[in-house]
Chains A and B, each alone.
Chain A
Amino acid sequence: MRFILTIAGKDLRLRVRDRSVFVLGLLAPFLLAVIFDLVLGAPSEATFQPRFAVADLDTGPVGDGLLGVLRSLAEGDVIELDEVGSVDEVEAAVEAGDLDAAFVIPAGFSQAVTSGGEATLRIVGNVDAPISVAIAEAVARGYAAEVEAVQLSVAVALQTLPSPTVSDVATLAAEAATMPPPIELVDVTAADRVLDTSTFFIAGMAVFFLFFTVSFGVVGLLEERQAGTLARLAAAPIPRYAAVAAKMVVSYVVGVVAMAVLVVASTLILDARWGDPVGVAVLVLAAVAAAVGVVAVVAGFARTAEQASTLQAIIAVSLGMIGGVFFPTNLGGGFLAKLALASPHRWFMNGLADLAGGGGLSVVWPSVAGLLAFAVVTTVPALYRLRTMEPR
């Protein structure tokens, strides 16, 4: 045990001197999570509510239809909605950042639609709120598609009527426009995505890079073999497993420290919400054990440090992809969801998702058990291979 600590202490000193462990273990996941969060994430998740306004200059049945859709969204608290009178007013508000997007229903819009003419619905978007603008666009396009369908049905209806009048057309259009909201807005706080996006990105990046961070420790064994120092360790009057055990201890310690720093930093800086601290701690400890096992088994079957690092990178990326750590997608219940369970990443993310629903240790234990199973299944053959590795 003393010798394990002596070797581990030496390795940790080397790792601290070699900055790459900081880059891969802390900087990379943190920066990537921030970038993903900025590009793909929502500004503030739980209270995420696009602020829209509508200027209805039409006051016709088709415009009223859109207005109805927007009002029902506002009633459901999905969006915030102001109804204003003039285009200038909306543009100023968007410019000032008071609004994310505004719909402008131009005068004569209903007339144009019902007479089969060209009708343009304008959206004034705030460049700093790309997600909200995208949602506004989706609402508008969905409605426009609906209107087109109405127009078709209108045209058909007109042909079957003996003497069509303008008021018939208006009635039909109005009827069509009061149909239920034409598109379904995806609610980002819906139950199938339990982790908010900020937490998802940092957690996903943290566990993804964990598989690189921990590889430093065990790959060190192959590096020492190539450098010749493993011969010295093997010649010393210490137990044969001491060197391997020390490398795994180093991997484990580095992995836990990196994860702990990421959890704390993202909580403070990114407002990530990891959940119950005890649950998170146990989940992290289990995840690091799984990661160490995976990289160790790869090192056990590689001939050189370079080969091991390459293999580990391939495996880390593959496990990350099938484990779905890059994008907050809903895997559903099909093949992909089953495949994802072959990745320790998924067990970690599932555990966090369970924590996000409230609760602590009691809710994470299935994920912890899954991660520990990965750890055992990989560590046992790894130990066997590495312990009997000849030093040259």
Chain B
Amino acid sequence: MVGDPIVEVTGLRKRFGDVEAVRGIDFRVEVGETYGLLGPNGAGKTTTISIVAGLLRRDAGEVKVAGMPMDIDTAAPRALIGLVPQELAVYPDLTGRENLRFFGKLYGLSGASLRRRVEEVLEVIGLRDRADDRVDEYSGGMKRRLNIGIGLLHEPKLLILDEPTVGVDPQSRNAILESVEALSASGRGVLYTTHYMEEAERLCDRVGIIDEGRLVAEGTRRELIRLVGERDRVRLQGSGNLSGAADALGRLDGVGDVVAADRSLEVVTVDAARLLPELLAVATEAGMAVTQVEVSQPDLESVFLHLTGKALRD
């Protein structure tokens, strides 16, 4: 159906026993869009995309993929989805090529088209030379790349990537991010979860910020930053009377929220450059010994901090 979003989620809820993992989530991913779910560990990202991919039952809400309702028993929309699970979902006792061939067959590929796609994917993920080695001989980064490659085999309309860079070295991570960029450029929808702010900023057209099972904000990077007031952040590190300093700073004109962490204060302000001397003076006067100052332009990390009062990563 023309104009249908590739994913449409409304009022999604899921509980595991006492844990309410997803508490009412709505979002949509348009055709050709890369949508990021950004949130800390345990926020409910994997649970959400598992329901979207038809792996888990939901307790409430609706999920549509390409306009078709998705449930654990529905087959039709599955062929449109390429899933890259968070865990390495590959068979270590098979070779890379055997893994690709096996999953390709499950997606209905066979014969010459299967062979062609396997070769193409091996090329994309850079595993051609090692295709006939057993996966348990691969490095962590190679396994990750194979994990992604399996999701690409059948050229899905929607690619779901669940934290695909977790546990890889910086070089492999960059290679992975580049290939995701290439994939989204090719016009398919991408649903990407991460707890790395930089990845969401770099890859995603729109980002949904998820925390404790809820979407706390959603939009383009610019929209999200505007949401928190397009303000700068000043991070004061030090010791002494941090809570006293926080109170004093909070009373200043031009200062928004002040969030105290273990050994630092996070000060949100309209203009860091102009206010910095005053901030330092007030903090020192209130009994804080400032040892380091960090000024930063707003980013999604600060948006998250603003919205949830905590850091993305602890």
Q: Is the CB of B85 within 8 A of A236?
A: no
A227 touching B87 in the complex, CB below 8 Å, given contacts A17-B93, A236-B103, A236-B107: yes
Q: Is the CB of B55 within 8 A of A231?
A: yes
* Chain A: CB-nearest residue to B108: A237
Q: Interface of chain A, helix or strand or loop or mixed? A: helix
A10 touching B94 in the complex, CB below 8 Å, given contacts A227-B89, A228-B88, A235-B83: yes
Partner of B91, one of A3, A6, A14, A240: A14
Q: Is the CB of B54 within 8 A of A228?
A: no
Give the docked Cα–Cα distance between A97 and B73 (Å). 73
Q: Is the CB of B94 within 8 A of A231?
A: no
A237 touching B50 in the complex, CB below 8 Å, given contacts A18-B93, A232-B83: no
Give the docked Cα–Cα distance between A240 and B71 (Å). 11
Q: With a CB–CB cut-off of 8 A, which chain B residues contact A234? A: 54-55, 72
A13 touching B94 in the complex, CB below 8 Å, given contacts A229-B89, A235-B55, A237-B107: yes
* Chain B: CB-nearest residue to A239: B75
> In angstroms, how far is the closest chain A Cβ from the Cβ of B227?
33
Q: Is A264 close to B, CB under 8 A?
A: no
Query: Among A7, A13, A235, which residue has the most Cβ atoms of chain B within 10 A?
Result: A235
Q: Is the CB of B85 within 8 A of A232?
A: yes
Q: Is the CB of A240 within 8 A of B73?
A: yes
> In angstroms, how far is the closest chain A Cβ from the Cβ of B163?
12
Would you give the 0/1 interface string for B21-60, flagging 1 where the beta carbon is closer than 8 Å to chain A? 0000000000000000000000000100010011111000
Q: Is the CB of A231 within 8 A of B85?
A: yes
Partner of A231, one of B76, B89, B105: B89
Q: With a CB–CB cut-off of 8 A, which chain A residues contact B87? A: 227-228, 231
Give the docked Cα–Cα distance between A236 and B83 (Å). 9
Q: Is A38 close to B, CB under 8 A?
A: no
Give the docked Cα–Cα distance between A125 and B106 (Å). 68
A229 touching B90 in the complex, CB below 8 Å, given contacts A234-B55, A236-B103, A392-B55: yes
Partner of A235, one of B54, B98, B105: B54
Give the docked Cα–Cα distance between A18 and B94 (Å). 11
* Chain B: CB-nearest residue to A10: B102
Q: With a CB–CB cut-off of 8 A, which chain A residues contact B103? A: 232, 236
- Per the 8 Å Cβ criterion, residues 188-205 of B in contact with A are none
A390 touching B54 in the complex, CB below 8 Å, given contacts A229-B90, A236-B107: no
Q: Is A43 close to B, CB under 8 A?
A: no
Q: Is the CB of A237 within 8 A of B75?
A: yes
Give the docked Cα–Cα distance between A235 and B83 (Å). 7
Q: Between A and B, how many residue pairs show CB distances below 8 Å? A: 78
Tell me the count of chain A residues lying within 8 A, CB to CB, of chain B: 24
Q: Is A233 close to B, CB under 8 A?
A: yes
Q: Is B276 close to A, CB under 8 A?
A: no
Q: Is B81 close to A, CB under 8 A?
A: yes
Q: With a CB–CB cut-off of 8 A, which chain A residues contact B105? A: 3, 6
Q: With a CB–CB cut-off of 8 A, which chain B residues contact A3? A: 105-106
> In angstroms, how far is the closest chain B Cβ from the Cβ of A17?
5
Q: Is B235 close to A, CB under 8 A?
A: no
> In angstroms, how far is the closest chain A Cβ from the Cβ of B277?
53
Q: Is B150 close to A, CB under 8 A?
A: yes
> In angstroms, how far is the closest chain A Cβ from the Cβ of B137?
13
Q: Is the CB of A392 within 8 A of B78?
A: no
Q: Is B79 close to A, CB under 8 A?
A: yes
Q: Is A238 close to B, CB under 8 A?
A: yes
A236 touching B72 in the complex, CB below 8 Å, given contacts A6-B105, A14-B94, A390-B56: no
Q: Is the CB of B106 within 8 A of A236?
A: yes
> In angstroms, how far is the closest chain A Cβ from the Cβ of B260?
37
Q: Is A381 close to B, CB under 8 A?
A: no
Query: Among A6, A17, A18, A229, which residue has the most Cβ atoms of chain B within 10 A?
Result: A229
Q: Is A391 close to B, CB under 8 A?
A: yes
Would you give the 0/1 interface string for A213-235, flagging 1 where the beta carbon is closer than 8 Å to chain B? 00000000000000111011111
> In angstroms, how far is the closest chain A Cβ from the Cβ of B189?
16
Q: With a CB–CB cut-off of 8 A, which chain B residues contact A14? A: 91, 93-94
- Per the 8 Å Cβ criterion, residues 141-179 of A in contact with B are none
Q: With a CB–CB cut-off of 8 A, which chain A residues contact B94? A: 10, 13-14
Q: With a CB–CB cut-off of 8 A, which chain A residues contact B85? A: 228, 231-232
A236 touching B93 in the complex, CB below 8 Å, given contacts A228-B85, A231-B55, A390-B57: no
Query: Among B55, B56, B57, B88, which residue has the most Cβ atoms of chain A within 10 A?
Result: B55
Q: Is the CB of B107 within 8 A of A231?
A: no
Q: Is the CB of B102 within 8 A of A240?
A: no
A228 touching B75 in the complex, CB below 8 Å, given contacts A238-B106, A390-B57: no
* Chain B: CB-nearest residue to A240: B73
- Per the 8 Å Cβ criterion, residues 16-61 of A in contact with B are 17-18
Q: With a CB–CB cut-off of 8 A, which chain A residues contact B79? A: 237
Q: Is the CB of B83 within 8 A of A233?
A: no
> In angstroms, how far is the closest chain B Cβ from the Cβ of A226?
9
> In angstroms, how far is the closest chain A Cβ from the Cβ of B106?
4
Give the docked Cα–Cα distance between A14 and B93 (Å). 7
Give the docked Cα–Cα distance between A222 and B298 (Å). 46
Partner of B55, one of A13, A18, A390: A390
Q: With a CB–CB cut-off of 8 A, which chain A residues contact B86? A: 228
Q: With a CB–CB cut-off of 8 A, which chain B residues contact A235? A: 53-55, 78, 81, 83
Would you give the 0/1 interface string for A231-272, flagging 1 where the beta carbon is closer than 8 Å to chain B? 111111111100000000000000000000000000000000
* Residues of chain A at the chain B interface (Cβ within 8 Å): 3, 6-7, 10, 13-14, 17-18, 227-229, 231-240, 390-392
Q: Lowest 7 CB-CB distances: which A-B pairs, in order?
A: A228-B87, A237-B78, A236-B106, A228-B89, A237-B79, A235-B83, A232-B89
* Residues of chain B at the chain A interface (Cβ within 8 Å): 46, 50, 53-57, 72-73, 75-76, 78-79, 81, 83, 85-91, 93-94, 98, 102-103, 105-108, 150
Given A10-B94, A17-B93, 9 new contacts (CB under 8 A): A13-B94, A14-B94, A228-B86, A228-B88, A228-B89, A232-B83, A236-B107, A237-B79, A391-B50
Question: Would you give 6 A-B contacts (Cβ < 8 Å), ordered by A?
Answer: A14-B93, A231-B85, A236-B106, A237-B108, A390-B56, A392-B56
